[in-house]
Amino acid sequence: MSPILAIVFLPLIAAIVGGFSNKSFGTAFPKIVTTGALLIACALSWPIFIGFLNGTSEATVVPVLHWLTSGTMSFAWELRVDALTAVMLVVVTSVSALVHIYSWGYMSEDPDQPRFFAYLSLFTFAMLMLVTANNLVQMFFGWEGVGLASYLLIGFWFRKPSAQAAAIKAFVVNRVGDLGFMLGIFGTFLVFGTVSIPEILAAAPNMAGSTIGFLGARFDTMTVLCLLLFVGAMGKSAQLGLHTWLPDAMEGPTPVSALIHAATMVTAGVFMVCRMSPMFEMSPVAMGVVTFVGAATCFFAATVGTTQTDIKRVIAYSTCSQLGYMFFAAGVGAYGAAMFHLFTHAFFKALLFLGAGSVIHAMHHEQDMRFYGGLRKHIPVTFWTMMAGTLAITGVGIPGIFGFDAIGFAGFHSKDAIIEASWAAGVPSAFWVGVFVALLTSFYSWRVVFLTFYGKPRWAGSEHIQHAVHDAHGHGHDSPDTHGHGSEHANAPAQEDSGHHAPSATHALHDHAPEGTAGYHPHESPIVMLIPLLVLTIGAIAAGFVFHGFFIEPEAGERFWKGSLFFNEHLMHAMHEVPMGVKLSATIAMLLGLGISWYTYVVKPGLATATAEHIRPLYTFLLNKWYFDELYNFLFVRPAFAIGRLLWKAGDENTIDRFGPNGLANVVRVGSIGAVKLQSGYLYTYAFIMLIGLTAALTWVIAG
């Protein structure tokens, strides 16, 4: 049996067994089953990846079951393993296994742990189906499967209205993207007569100059298909316009944010574009759109990230922004660099989220950074691992100048590769956006570190901390998490509570809440939570310099990818020969961002508030996330309900029914036959008319 079967289906089996296990088994059984399955899947995935690294593995397709045949359309359930899949396999199974382990600690207070672990494993299964897909429909299966798991996990604490709303929003906004994906599949089938990815990619290079009719006009065929598919990618990867669900998805438990909304699911769009890269290569227009949307998202999300005060939301916007980097890398043709950033980002972003979870855990579910401060000494392991994550995301490293090889943290290698590739590909606009966003990234990432771990404690203002201190009188301060947030949350222990500080401009301007510890003692997280942090720290430090050769070096990359994505060797060469100023630009931007952040939040703590006051309109604009939610609410949500009500009342009841059946009834009533008589006699009338009609018909036919 091929190991890929075990990798993909063990999580499914574990999800079913764990999810439906009898409550009397206790919570340990489902946890062991799911975590065990993921550890096995992870252990089986790395050898596959290593096989591709040292060039001994070949792309394979393992058939599972025929799916369906309809006319000329035919596809099967099958598992494809090539270099691109192998990268995703290690990312998905490793992060998922670590998140499973982490959740043993993080979710230990929750009564619904079996459900939580079953959802996590179900998600992993769907994600693995997505990355091993050999046809577009199976990819769509995985695509929707991860969407389902995401919906269930965002809504895991289903008692909370904010979580319910966020879950629905995530699913519905993703469906907007799926509309594009589905139409893309339909169009692809129409043009190529198949939904098999290898067959499509083999035929794509012959499509230059082809045109197609779409919605009444004619366009370049590959542009239409690629853009439709890309709409799907935009939804799943939260790109500008369809990004609104991602920040709200932080309603889910933090391990979920780390796994789904940072490391794996949201990168599915990038994966899809890379998987279909030979198609995108055929459409310069589509590539331009991908670059533009990526760069715009990258910029937008980073600007918003600078003002948010909820630690998870900052990291969520950071994810959105980093996904933008990946897309514009793909858009300029540097798919290797896009996948490389996807790979490193998975480790350091999962690390940052799990680190944030550890902080939230220590701070008794307080997520607002305004009530943090000075945590460095209290939770040192969390601090140092978060530090590694921040060094990785901001791209700290020594550029490869003066003949030395470049060396640095993970993000340094991958992000600099993207910025250099955009210059080398001749897209200076994307280059400048990339550099400027590197500055913003550095600023907001360090802001998180400084607000959380440096300065004086500002815990006293937090309701959560006050609850904790209050509760601690009863049962000792060793276990501040034991009893939720007090009486009003008695049924829902250990729930996170983002969004209860609605970002109002006036409130948020006080970047500094009153100082004081309120007598609270934060505790470092248990060992099961720290182990995943430490493992991911290794990834955040080393994933860049260990693997950059395989992902982006011209010759090594060609050997590694083996055609599983469109590897532009010339671009990769050119990328290494960009001027020194270009190579240094990202590092300079990073240092600037660090400097500004340090000065604003550590040296002169009052400066942030003063500056925000100074540029108040801009600050408010950013704090409210460019007003996308308000705009969509105004444009789509409220009209949908209003029009629905109108169609129902004015359409169905007052027009169709009034002039239809009710109108007829009135006519009948006016004709003095009497509605009552009609209503009681309807059945007999009907049967009578039917029989009379039939008899008449037969008579007529016989006579004729």
Partner 1 sequence: MSGFPILSVMLAVPAVAAIACLFAGDKGARWIALAATFVDLALGILLWSDFQMGAGAPQWQFVEHVPLFDMGTAQFAWALGIDGYALMLIVLSVFLMPICIGASWEAIQKRVPEYMSAFLLTEVLMIGTFAAQDLFLFYIFFEGGLIPMFLIIGIWGGQNRIYASYKFFLYTLLGSLLMLVAMIAMVLMTGTTSIPALMAYDFPPQMQTWLWLAFFASFAVKMPMWPVHTWLPDAHVQAPTAGSVILAGVLLKLGGYGFLRFSLPMFPEASAQLMWLVFALSCVAVVYTSLVALVQSDMKKLIAYSSVAHMAIVTMGLFAFNPQGIEGAMMVMLGHGLVSGALFLCVGVIYDRLHTREISRYGGLAINMPRYAVLFLLFTMASVGLPGTSNFVGEFLGLAGVYRVSTITALIGTTGIILGAAYMLYLFRRVVWGDLTRDDVKAMPDLSLREIALLVPIAAAVLWMGVYPESFLAPMRADTARLVARLERAAPAGDSKPTPGHPAAAPAHGEAHGAAPAHGGAH
**Residue 490 lies near partner 1 (rule: CB under 8 A):** no
Measure the CA–CA gap between 371 and 511, rounded to whole angstroms. 9
Interface with partner 1 includes 425 (CB under 8 A)?
yes
CB of 400 to partner 1, least distance (A): 18
Choose among 104, 149, 418, 158: nearest CA to 265: 149
As to burial, measured by CB atoms within 10 angstroms (0-12 exposed, 13-18 middle, 19+ buried), residue 450 is: buried
Of 5, 618, 647, 667, the one binding partner 1 (CB under 8 A) is 647
- CB nearer to partner 1: give 222 or 437: 222
Q: 77: which strand partners? A: 65
Task: Work out which of 108, 164, 517, 609 binds partner 1, going by CB under 8 A.
Answer: 164
Tell me which of 73, 527, 580, 610 binds partner 1, using CB under 8 A. 73
- Rounded to an integer, what distance in angstroms lies between the CA atom of residue 274 and that of residue 272? 5
> What's the residue count for the chain?
704
Residues 6 or more apart in contact with residue 14 via CB below 8 angstroms: 33, 34, 36, 37, 38, 118, 121
Closer Cβ to partner 1, 88 or 130, answer by number? 130
What x-and-dash track marks residues 623-642 binding partner 1 by CB under 8 A?
A: -----------------xx-
Cβ atoms within 10 Å, residue 401: 11
Stretch that binds partner 1, among 135-143, 268-276, 439-447, 594-602 (CB under 8 A): 135-143
Least gap, CB of 523 to partner 1 (angstroms): 30
Stretch of residues binding partner 1 (CB under 8 A), selected from 165-173, 363-371, 475-483, 624-632: 165-173
Interaction with partner 1 in 252-311: which residues (CB under 8 A)?
284-285, 287-288, 291
**Does 424 help bind partner 1 (rule: CB under 8 A)?**
yes
Using the rule CB under 8 A, give the single segment among 84-92, 245-253, 372-380, 694-702 that binds partner 1.
694-702
Upper half-sphere CA count for residue 243 (Cβ side, 13 Å): 29
Under rule CB under 8 A, residue 175 binds partner 1: yes
Site string for partner 1, 378-417 (x = CB under 8 A): ----------------------------------------
Residues 38-67 that bind partner 1 (CB under 8 A): 65-67
- State which of positions 188-247 bind partner 1 (CB under 8 A): 189-191, 205-216, 221-222
328-367 mask for partner 1 (x: CB under 8 A)? ----xx----------------------------------
Q: Which amino acid would we find at residue 237?
A: S
Burial class (CB in 10 A: 0-12, 13-18, 19+), 296: middle
The Cα–Cα gap between 240 and 145 comes to: 23
Candidate segments 31-39, 353-361, 432-440, 654-662, binder of partner 1 by CB under 8 A: 654-662
End-to-end CA distance of the chain: 72
Q: Strands (DSSP E) along 57-135, which ranges? A: 60-70, 73-81
User: What is the residue whose two structure tokens read 């008319």?
Assistant: 689
Minimum distance from CB of 79 to partner 1 (Å)? 15
- CB nearer to partner 1: pick between 402 and 700: 700
Closer residue to partner 1 (CB): 28 or 698: 698
Residue 399 is which amino acid?
Answer: P
576 binds partner 1 (CB under 8 A): no
For strands 407-408 and 397-398, give the pairing: antiparallel
- Least Cβ distance, residue 674 to partner 1 (angstroms): 13
Helix orientation angle between 113-131 and 28-53, rounded to the nearest 10 degrees: 20
Is residue 704 at the binding interface for partner 1, with CB under 8 A as the rule? yes
Residue 697 engages partner 1 in binding (rule: CB under 8 A): yes
Q: 577 or 630: whose CB is closer to partner 1?
A: 577
In angstroms, rounded to a whole number, what is the distance separating the alpha carbons of residues 18 and 2? 24
657 near partner 1, judged by CB under 8 A: yes
> What Cα–Cα distance (Å) separates residue 55 from each residue in 43, 90, 289, 338, 477?
19, 16, 34, 21, 55
Distance CA 27, CA 114 (A): 6
- Other C-beta atoms closer than 10 Å to the C-beta of 519 total 13
**Pattern 521-560, partner 1, x by CB under 8 A:** ----------------------------------------
Select from 86-94, 167-175, 244-252, 479-487 the region that touches partner 1 (CB under 8 A): 167-175
Alpha-carbon gap, residue 616 to 505, rounded angstroms: 9
From the CB of 163, what's the least distance to partner 1, in Å? Answer: 8
Give the nearest distance from C-beta 57 to partner 1 in angstroms. Answer: 20
How far from 179 is each of 33, 269, 629, CA to CA, in Å?
Answer: 36, 14, 21
Number of residues that bind partner 1 (CB under 8 A): 108
**Are the C-beta atoms of 522 and 465 separated by less than 8 Å?**
no
Q: Which of 96, 568, 585, 600 binds partner 1 (CB under 8 A)?
A: 568
Residue 305 vs residues 170, 172, 232, 650, 653: alpha-carbon distances, Å: 20, 24, 24, 45, 48
CA dihedral of 242, 344, 594, 460, whole degrees rounded to 10? 70
Distance of CA 48 to the CA centre of its chain: 25
Binding residue (CB under 8 A) for partner 1 from 78, 82, 110, 144: 144
Binding span for partner 1 by CB under 8 A among 157-165, 241-249, 259-267, 304-312? 157-165
Q: Choose the binding region for partner 1 from 24-32, 159-167, 445-453, 611-619 (rule: CB under 8 A).
A: 159-167
Q: Least distance in Å: CB of 210 to partner 1? A: 4
Does residue 497 bind partner 1 (CB under 8 A)?
no
Using CB under 8 A as the binding rule, whether residue 654 contacts partner 1 is answered as: no
Asked whether the beta carbons of 393 and 411 are under 8 A apart, the reply is yes
Q: Using the rule CB under 8 A, is 499 a contact of partner 1?
A: no
Can you read off the two tokens belonging to residue 543?
Answer: 């994933």
Whichever of 217 and 502 has its CB closer to partner 1, that residue is 217
